[in-house]
Amino acid sequence: MNGHADPLMTSEEYLAFEEASTERHEYFRGRIFALSGASDEHDAIVINVSGNLYTQLRRRPCRVFSSDVKIKAERMALYTYPDATVVCGKPIFEDAARTVLLNPTVIFEVLSPSTEKYDRGKKFQYYRSIPSLQEYVLVACDMRHIEHYIRQDNGTWQFSSASAESPTLTLPSIGCVLELDDVYEKVEFPDDGSDSGASGNFGQTSASTKKSIQERPR
């Protein structure tokens, strides 16, 4: 060890950096991580989920937000980009530009081999610190399967899932239903489920900043 650590970035510096960047980055406790591109299957599932939610919520006081909107988990000093987010009630933003949402009701993440462990583990832990969050939904992109977690009154999270045996997922906090056929419409799964580029580690990348940027695969 050389005794020198990369300087940490403040949240204000991160937001200014992100506004000027052509790529998206996650921020966690002073460090930023570049988010790599998503697969065709991933993008198709995100569009299907968002479109179905929009149709069901369009005449109700709820909004569907795309992955371009950041979520802040203040207690964890995290800024990140969920694949889709729903807010029922008035959205609360941290910034005047309305790019950082503070009160998500439901968060959706589409899994991939490179993010599955993070989305189920640490990221879910960070999301659970958001007081407004009522449900967390994980959608597989290599099979027809959805995992669903809902906050209980005692603070625990109840698990359920949707699969071929039970193809309907109910989201009580927003009064919506997702059907597997709708979520996976026109999604073609690759013949080979392996991901040669997914090692589970974050590789160092270059950027026009003196701060350290690591890559967060998706």
pTM of the predicted protein model = 0.85
In tens, the pLDDT along 126-177 reads 999 999 999 999 999 999 999 999 999 999 999 999 999 999 999 999 999 9
> Comparing 52 with 112, which gets the higher pLDDT?
52
Looking at residue 194, its amino acid is S
In tens, the pLDDT along 33-65 reads 998 778 899 999 999 999 999 999 999 999 999
| Cα-based distances in Å from 156 to 64, 121, 129, 153 | 25, 15, 12, 7
What pLDDT is stored for residue 203 in this prediction? 32
> The CATH number of 39-187 is which of 3.40.228.10, 3.90.1570.10, 3.30.930.10, 3.40.50.150?
3.90.1570.10
In tens, the pLDDT along 199-209 reads 333 333 333 33
What does the alpha-carbon distance between residue 119 and residue 17 come to, in Å, rounded to a whole number?
25
Using alpha carbons only, give the angle 50, 54, 60 rounded to the nearest 5 degrees: 145
Domain map (residue ranges) of the chain: 39-187
